[in-house]
């Protein structure tokens, strides 16, 4: 698809979601213009926070996009993210090492992705169903661990904390302080760009995604490629959970509100970035802007943060219709 129609497609979906969000706010009786000003401007005033919030999203977006290149939908980013966060919290707490914690996060998310892919390849069960079941199972296991075994006796509403030695800090660059987890996420994304577009594995993944039959004809093993892509995707989400814990929250609160929804938002970011790692960095920053804006709107205008979900949901729905952009564009050209 030519770049211009790609940009039109993405703009249409963002505009439509803003329009419907605006109408929804009016219907509910809020000052919609004021809420929009807050949503769109707040994150820009604090680039440090924007980078922190974008980090997990970049990785959960990769978790969705890498498998979808092979035609598999990883809706399990949410569970992989939780597991990565939980296990890297435990490892960092017990061993005090951030590299080990990051590796654990990666491995645990990857393992979940692997399980989902194996059930699909071996048993033919749609990955969407198994992903969601695992999301809920891990959600409850996390809630159990945090409230029952990992809670901080001094602060019972949250888990034990990552020890100082294992935290990932900031890099001071004069006017801005860069949270180190952000460059880690961006570098990971660039690495994935090379895997997808400049490696034989990436080539096999793209062929399997566009036509499993010709992939088999070319001597590739689609099942193997699907399993690898899901494991790689799961590892991304697990890493996202680790980075959030080690670089920002340093603990898990007992309501898990700091983790909830990150995997699902990643689906939106992956689609908005058109499954391209470079696009994903940009789309994640854009969606984080909306999410931070949602938080600010709650504080200052009383609008629930879930407003961001409404935006992301509509963006995803509109992006599911590649045809729509073409219809609108061709009509305009014709008239």
- How far, in Å, CA of 215 to CA of 220, rounded? 5
- How far, in Å, CA of 17 to CA of 167, rounded? 37
**Positions 316 through 335 that interact with another protein (CB under 8 A):** 316-324, 327
Closest alpha carbon to 89 in 34, 173, 158: 158
Residue 253 β-bridge partners: 158
**Positions 159 through 188 that interact with another protein (CB under 8 A):** none
Cα angle value 59/62/85 (rounded, 5°): 35
DSSP-based three-state secondary structure for 156: coil
- How far, in Å, CA of 198 to CA of 5, rounded? 25
CB 258 within 8 A of CB 55: no
For residue 54, give the H/E element and its range.
Answer: helix 47-69
Q: How far is the CB of 12 from another protein (least distance, A)?
A: 13
# residues contacting another protein (CB under 8 A): 51
Binder of another protein out of 37, 97, 147, 170 (CB under 8 A): 147
Binding mask 215-254 for another protein (x = CB under 8 A): ----------------------------------------
Instruction: State which residue, 169 or 304, has the beta carbon closest to another protein.
Output: 304
Instruction: State which residue, 1 or 137, has the beta carbon closest to another protein.
Output: 137
Closest alpha carbon to 293 in 28, 27, 45: 45
Q: What are phi and psi of 151, to 5 degrees?
A: -75, 155
- How far, in Å, CA of 315 to CA of 333, rounded? 24
Binder of another protein out of 31, 152, 253, 309 (CB under 8 A): 309
Q: How far is the CB of 264 from another protein (least distance, A)?
A: 6
- How far, in Å, CA of 51 to CA of 62, rounded? 16
Contacts of 218 (CB under 8 A, 6+ apart): 207
**Positions 5 through 24 that interact with another protein (CB under 8 A):** 24
**Positions 72 through 101 that interact with another protein (CB under 8 A):** 73, 75
Contacts of 313 (CB under 8 A, 6+ apart): 17, 268
**Positions 124 through 143 that interact with another protein (CB under 8 A):** 124-126, 128-130, 132-137, 140-141, 143
Q: How far is the CB of 97 from another protein (least distance, A)?
A: 29
- How far, in Å, CA of 308 to CA of 25, rounded? 12
Catalogue the E-assigned strands of the chain. 170-173, 176-179
- How far, in Å, CA of 197 to CA of 235, rounded? 19
Note whether 46 binds another protein by CB under 8 A.
Answer: no
Q: How far is the CB of 34 from another protein (least distance, A)?
A: 16
Q: How far is the CB of 105 from another protein (least distance, A)?
A: 22
Instruction: State which residue, 191 or 327, has the beta carbon closest to another protein.
Output: 327
Which one-letter DSSP state was computed for residue 161?
P
Instruction: State which residue, 24 or 111, has the beta carbon closest to another protein.
Output: 24
Binding mask 259-288 for another protein (x = CB under 8 A): -----x--xx--x-----------------
Q: How far is the CB of 140 from another protein (least distance, A)?
A: 4
Point out which span in 50-58, 83-91, 155-163, 298-306 binds another protein (CB under 8 A). 298-306
Residues binding another protein (CB under 8 A): 24, 28-29, 73, 75, 119, 123-126, 128-130, 132-137, 140-141, 143-144, 147-148, 264, 267-268, 271, 303-304, 306-324, 327
């Amino acid at each position: 698809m030519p770049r211009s129609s790609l940009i039109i497609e993405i703009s249409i979906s963002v505009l439509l979601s803003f329009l419907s969000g605006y109408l929804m706010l009016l219907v509910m009786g809020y000052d919609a213009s004021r809420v929009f000003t807050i949503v769109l401007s707040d994150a820009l005033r604090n680039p440090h926070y924007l980078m922190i919030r974008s980090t997990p999203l970049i990785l959960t977006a990769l978790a969705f996009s890498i498998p979808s290149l092979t035609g598999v939908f990883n809706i399990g980013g949410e569970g992989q993210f939780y597991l990565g966060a939980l296990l890297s919290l435990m490892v960092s707490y017990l061993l005090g090492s951030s590299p080990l914690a990051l590796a654990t996060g990666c491995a645990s998310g990857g393992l979940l992705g692997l399980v989902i892919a194996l059930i699909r390849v071996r048993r033919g069960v749609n990955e969407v169903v198994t992903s969601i079941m695992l999301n809920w199972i891990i959600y409850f296991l996390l809630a159990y661990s945090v409230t029952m075994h990992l809670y901080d006796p001094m602060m019972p509403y949250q888990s034990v904390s990552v020890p100082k030695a294992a935290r990932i800090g900031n890099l001071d660059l004069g006017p801005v302080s860069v949270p180190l987890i952000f460059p880690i996420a961006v570098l990971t994304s660039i690495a994935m760009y090379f895997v997808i577009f400049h490696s034989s594995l990436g080539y096999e993944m793209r062929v399997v995604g566009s036509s499993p039959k010709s992939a088999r004809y070319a001597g590739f093993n689609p099942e193997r490629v699907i399993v690898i892509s899901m494991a790689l995707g799961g590892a991304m989400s697990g890493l996202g959970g680790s980075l959030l814990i080690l670089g920002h929250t340093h603990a898990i609160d007992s309501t898990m509100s700091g983790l909830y929804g990150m995997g699902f938002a990643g689906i939106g970011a992956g689609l908005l970035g058109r499954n391209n790692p470079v696009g994903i960095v940009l789309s994640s920053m854009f969606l984080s802007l909306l999410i931070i804006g949602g938080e600010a709107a709650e504080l200052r205008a009383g609008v629930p943060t879930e407003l961001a979900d409404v935006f992301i949901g509509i963006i995803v729905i509109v992006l599911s219709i590649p045809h729509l952009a073409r219809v609108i564009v061709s009509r305009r050209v014709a008239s």
